[in-house]
Amino acid sequence: MARDTIRAVRLVYLYDLLKQEPQSIRDLALQCGVSNDTITRDLVDLQLAPMCLRLRALDGRWTVAEERDG
């Protein structure tokens, strides 16, 4: 698989994990088989276009932020 394809699959997987429950960077790295630095970069990229996800960290655990009503 091409590097970009592997990364795209990982980003979708991270999104799914973060929707389920808050996760630490270390736990995400272990589940994805990559370094903490890679996960940190991925979390930044998930918040940028085209994904534009609202993520938040609380007590070192990341999650998808709930959408606010109008």
Token code pair at residue 50: 């085209």
Element (H, E) at 53: none
Q: Tell me, which fold does domain 3-64 have in CATH?
A: Arc Repressor Mutant, subunit A (1.10.10)
Q: Global pTM?
A: 0.87
Element (H, E) at 37: helix 36-46
Q: Kindly tell me if the per-residue pLDDT of 70 is higher than 70.
A: no
pLDDT tens string 36-51: 999 999 999 999 999 9
70 vs 21: CA distance, rounded Å:
25
Give the length of the chain: 70
> Residue ranges of the domains in the chain?
3-64
